[in-house]
Amino acid sequence: MLLFEKHKELLDKATQAVFSRKFYAAYSENPKAYAEDGLAKAQAWYDAQLGNRFTELLQQDPSDWKGNESSPYTQELLNIHYPSFTDEQLIDNARACLSEWRNASPESRAGVLLESLERISKRFFDIAIATMHTSGQAYMMSFQASGPHANDRALETIAIGYDLQRKFPDHQEWIKPMGKFELNVHKTWRTMGRGIGLVIGCSTFPVWNTVPGVFANLISGNPVIVKPHPGGILPIAIVVAEIQKALVAGRYNPDLIQLAVDTTNDPITKKLVNSPEVKLIDYTGGNSFGDYIESLPGKISFTEKAGVNSVILDSAHDLNAVMQNLAFAACLYSGQMCTAPQNIFIPENGIKTDSGHVSFTDAAQAFADAVQAIVDHPKMGPGVLGAIQNIDTLQRIGNAIESKNAVLILDSKSVVNEEYPNARTASPAIIKLDAEDIATYGEECFGPVVFIIKTADTEESIALAKKLALHKGAISCGAYTTNENVKHNIAESMEEAFTPVAFNLTGQIWMNQNAAFSDFHVTGGNPAGNASFTDISYLSKRFVWVGHKHM
């Protein structure tokens, strides 16, 4: 309870923010708000990790040491090895501490978890460098997404989970009048976690996409096994280590959270998801394995899979501001974001602006010019694009360019990074297609590829965006219009496809971004995923209420 009291003010602020949906950030996204020498120390720490064993985890008796991560910036192996365990060891360890954690009060669990966030915040620079050299994100995105933004998402799940477990009283005197006498029953209730949780991470956002499931499980009373992508272990390994240390400080077993490391040649994921002891599965990744997880009997799954994100261009006040915004959104982390725009629908007769009518061809070229300006900027280019996490992404770019009926507006190219001359980079390829070429633009093309699609009119643009969201899934949608009726039609159509729309964004806010405490990341209503960061069901499905009656 001491840890709970220590952090209660933070929890109260977070809870208020969750249910007001106003802006709130518990952790500053500005690196200058933290230790002045933090980056230099983190770089030295990272250099010392290379070629060595990662020994921060409080997991005992590993069966092996594994790791084959490589840096997209140096294209060299990190040669960091992590303690590895069999699926049986991981399950046995989690089972051994299940009862203890279930029996802990929500206050005790919340206190330990909030303490872990404080510990993690002191490692933001370490996590940033680790994220850079595993995901390929640029430094600033690595710091913000894996550091303060991830911590805010974790805090959000703690706040919702704690609040839900305190919605009902834990005891009550139930008195029923029976005429000449009363029936008096003392009733008690408690929440019970469903069992062992498994969180399967991705390579592009190894922390941000992982921590919501981790903290949602833990606040609900469930031990959790974290299975990172083999290419993105180091960032989340730091986080797991700090949670384990907080658990020990709270006098709990550190095996309540375990890191399950594997390699691409020796995977462990399928063994874990099929274990009857695993009751809850969080997954971020491709559709094929995500569909498989959703089909498993006796499991409750929370998935984020692939989607096809659209932008509907109808009309605009300032086309230049629109194109600069869209160009940045397309270039950010080289399009390796589940919220990045892929398809831009423009009517064949062009669009209306305050400066006059702009043809389809000129609108497409304006977008290409805006992208080119970012790519060619010696500082902005590398800082926005980052590096390509997986070499398969480069092949995807080539396949898109060579697809049927593709007309190349702007070719993809390598971008020079002066700090990392060997960085694996690629600027966005911009490809023109017609509406009937849906076989090409109707599938997710993850990475720096944008399709400009010529439609008959805005009505067709809306219909195509809705169709893709319904049948292929969508996590985000952008729209630009100065017509209120058109705006209403877009909102209504995309709502029917369970897809949020960002209208008329310009300046320093982009359709890629989802803010903790305010935005719901993925709705869970279309094929892009069956869960949302972070709605009520994301927490409530992880525990049950059990009540007893005493005469």
Do 461 and 486 meet the contact criterion of CB atoms below 8 Å apart?
Answer: no
Nearest alpha-carbon partner for 108 in 257, 255, 254, 252:
252
User: Which residue in 275, 274, 293, 270 sits closest to 283, CA to CA?
Assistant: 293
Q: Is the pTM of this model over 0.75?
A: yes
Single-letter amino acid, residue 14: A
Q: pLDDT of 246-258, one tens digit each?
A: 999 999 999 999 9
Q: Is the pLDDT at 139 greater than 70, yes or no?
A: yes
Average pLDDT over residues 148-157: 98
pLDDT in tens, 270-323: 999 999 999 999 999 999 999 999 999 999 999 999 999 999 999 999 999 999
CATH value of 310-503 in 3.30.70.260, 3.30.470.10, 3.40.50.720, 3.40.309.10: 3.40.309.10
Calculate mean pLDDT across residues 451-464: 98
pLDDT at 6 > cutoff 80: yes
**429-434 and 407-410: which strand pairing?**
antiparallel
**Residue carrying the six token digits 């080119």:** 372
User: Across the chain, what does the average pLDDT equal?
Assistant: 97
Tokens found for residue 389 = 């996490």
**Residues β-bridged to residue 477:** 310
Q: Quick one: which of 211, 205, 199 has its CA closest to 152? A: 211
> Could you read off the pLDDT of 37-56 as tens digits, one per residue?
999 999 999 999 999 999 99
pLDDT tens digits, 16-28: 999 999 999 999 9
Model pLDDT, residue 1: 67
According to DSSP, the β-strands at 343-347 and 449-455 are parallel
Q: Which residue has the tokens 């496809």?
A: 497
pLDDT band at 491 (very low <50, low <70, confident <90, very high): very high
Q: Which of 159, 142, 151 is nearest to 121 (CA)?
A: 151
Angstrom distances, CA of residue 67 to CA of 136, 233, 269, 313: 17, 8, 15, 45
pLDDT in tens, 156-202: 999 999 999 999 999 999 999 998 999 999 999 999 999 999 999 99
pLDDT of residue 509: 95
Percent of the chain with pLDDT over 70: 100
Q: Domain locations in the chain? A: 2-19+29-305+531-550, 310-503
Q: Amino acid letter at 48?
A: A
What span, in angstroms and rounded, lies between the C-alpha atoms of 206 and 326?
25
In terms of Cβ atoms closer than 10 Å to its own Cβ (0-12, 13-18, 19+), residue 415 is buried
353, 359, 364, 366 alpha-carbon torsion, rounded to 10°: -50
Query: What pLDDT digit, counting tens, does each position of 318-363 carry?
Result: 999 999 999 999 999 999 999 999 999 999 999 999 999 999 999 9
Q: Provide CATH code, domain 2-19+29-305+531-550.
A: 3.40.605.10
Residues in the chain: 551
Residues of the chain with pLDDT > 90: what percent? 99
Residue 86 burial (CB < 10 Å; 0-12/13-18/19+)?
A: middle
Q: What share of the chain is helix, strand, coil (3-state, %, to 5)?
A: 40, 20, 40
- Check residue 16 and give its pLDDT: 98
Q: What is the pLDDT averaged over residues 96-110?
A: 96
The predicted structure's pLDDT at residue 467: 98
Q: Residue 73: pLDDT above 70?
A: yes
Per-residue pLDDT tens digits for 507-541: 999 999 999 999 999 999 999 999 999 999 999 99
Task: State residue 14's pLDDT score.
Answer: 98
Q: Alpha-carbon distance 121 to 133, whole Å?
A: 19
